Amino acid sequence: MPTLINVCGASRSGTTMLDVMLGNGQSAFSCGEVYAWFRPWRTHHRKIRCACGSDPCPVWEKIAYVPEARFHRTVCDRLNVDFVIDSSKYMPWLIDTQSWAEKSGISVFNVLIYKPPIELAYSQFKRGRDPLGWRDDFVKYHGRLLRLGFPFSAVSYRELVRSPAKILGDICSRIGMHYVSGQEMAARVQSHHVFGSFGVRQQLDGGELRIRAEPEFSDDFERVRETIQARIDRDSEVCDIVDELERRSVGRRPGERTSTQFRRPLVMPAWYHVSRLKGAVRRVFPQDFAAPESSTEWERRS
Ligand SMILES: [Zn+2]
């Protein structure tokens, strides 16, 4: 049975990188943040701008013009692949893909990538922002998925960049994808990514995915690190989420195939409907394209 792999995560967690690594696999197609095509919220989403550089892209010509509910199945059928990788992080889309997959006879594996809080704090700190500025997005994104009983396995970004072959191998064994040596590094296949992280797309332009290990913390940060860590440790909501993410880490229980069946509640939470409504309005009145950024910025406004 073909498999849809949803790569999800909060803003700037490395989703595009993991998406591309999986898309390098055999019989796989990585489509990027495709929800922006079907549910556009910025003016530039109305046109496919494919990473391959062709305009129009002959591959997207075959798959783009179908109803959204048939998209993933169409990719598998028309491109003759067993795995379709989607890194749309927008939660209503992520949730809707579960029932589309079930109805169109494909299985689903959801993998969530996350950065440990102290690294999120460092990212903020080195940009001169509040070191705890990530907190609300982090709690909102993960808290909503967990409360919904959304099934997913987790991957720590740090572990992925430290041991990419091992972690990717673990994920592949869970989804039944044959791991190809070096799959995490070289662009084995022509990428037809759309939208997603601009930085990773720039790296792809060189034909190779260069994994940048997270730098050690600066001396400035080291001086305040303990204080920040203490504040994180006192935040029970954040700690509970991190504990749950670690419990679900692929490295913890390699080879185990977790249940991927999502039982959609009869009544979806209010944020789902609000988010869909805002999306519908934005579709009619899209924003102008301002600067390259991950489309998960949308999550902050939802
Ligand atoms: Zn293309």
Rounded distance from Cα 60 to ligand 1 centre (Å): 6
What tokens appear for 27 in the block?
Answer: 């019989």
Phi-psi region of 40 (alpha: psi -120 to 50; beta: other; left: phi over 0): beta
Across 80-132, the runs of DSSP E, i.e. the strands, are 83-86, 107-114
Give domain status of residue 302, yes or no: no
Residue 137's CB is within 10 A of a number of other CB atoms, namely 16
Query: What's residue 245's pLDDT?
Result: 95
Judge residue 97's burial from the number of C-beta atoms within 10 Å of its C-beta, 0-12 exposed, 13-18 middle, 19 or more buried.
buried
Give domain status of residue 113, yes or no: yes
Phi-psi region of 207 (alpha: psi -120 to 50; beta: other; left: phi over 0): left
Residue 116 contacts residue 156 (beta carbons within 8 Å): yes
What tokens appear for 276 in the block?
Answer: 């869909």
Rounded distance from Cα 20 to ligand 1 centre (Å): 14
Rounded distance from Cα 61 to ligand 1 centre (Å): 9
Give domain status of residue 81, yes or no: yes
Q: Residue 283 and residue 41: Cα distance in Å, rounded?
A: 5
Count of domains observed in the chain:
1
Among 25, 195, 29, 8, smallest CA distance to 106 is for 29
Query: What's residue 203's pLDDT?
Result: 56
Among 104, 87, 99, smallest CA distance to 12 is for 87
Residue 163's CB is within 10 A of a number of other CB atoms, namely 14
- CA gyration radius for the chain? 19
Query: What's residue 107's pLDDT?
Result: 93
What range defines the domain where residue 169 resides?
Answer: 3-280
Query: What's residue 301's pLDDT?
Result: 38
Among 2, 35, 33, 28, smallest CA distance to 17 is for 33
Rounded distance from Cα 48 to ligand 1 centre (Å): 9
Give domain status of residue 166, yes or no: yes
Query: What's residue 293's pLDDT?
Result: 44
Rounded distance from Cα 31 to ligand 1 centre (Å): 10
CA 217 to chain centre: 25
Rounded distance from Cα 82 to ligand 1 centre (Å): 19
This prediction's pTM = 0.87
Name the 3-class secondary structure at 190. Answer: coil
Query: Phi and psi of 84, rounded to 5°?
Result: -120, 130
Query: What's residue 6's pLDDT?
Result: 96
Query: What's residue 96's pLDDT?
Result: 94
Query: Phi and psi of 103, rounded to 5°?
Result: -70, -30
Rounded distance from Cα 50 to ligand 1 centre (Å): 5
Rounded distance from Cα 39 to ligand 1 centre (Å): 20
Across 106-254, the runs of DSSP E, i.e. the strands, are 107-114, 153-156
Give domain status of residue 188, yes or no: yes
Query: What's residue 202's pLDDT?
Result: 54
Question: What's the half-sphere exposure (Cβ side, CA atoms, 13 Å) at 135?
Answer: 16
Residue 256's CB is within 10 A of a number of other CB atoms, namely 11
Rounded distance from Cα 111 to ligand 1 centre (Å): 24
Q: CATH number of the domain that 236 lies in?
A: 3.40.50
The label of the residue with tokens 């504040």 reads 231
Give domain status of residue 119, yes or no: yes
Give domain status of residue 25, yes or no: yes
H or E element: which one contains 110?
strand 107-114
Rounded distance from Cα 272 to ligand 1 centre (Å): 32
Query: What's residue 200's pLDDT?
Result: 57
Q: What is the pLDDT along the chain (302 residues), one digit of tens a residue?
A: 899 999 999 877 888 889 888 988 889 999 988 998 998 878 777 788 888 888 899 999 999 999 999 999 999 999 999 999 999 988 999 999 999 999 999 999 999 999 999 999 998 999 899 999 999 999 999 999 999 999 999 999 988 988 889 999 999 988 999 998 888 876 656 778 787 655 555 555 555 566 666 668 899 999 999 999 999 999 999 999 999 999 999 877 655 555 567 888 889 999 999 998 988 888 888 877 654 444 444 334 33
Query: Phi and psi of 265, rounded to 5°?
Result: -60, 150
Give domain status of residue 159, yes or no: yes
> What pLDDT, in 10s, does the model give residues 70-83?
999 999 999 999 99
Q: Residue 138 is which amino acid?
A: F
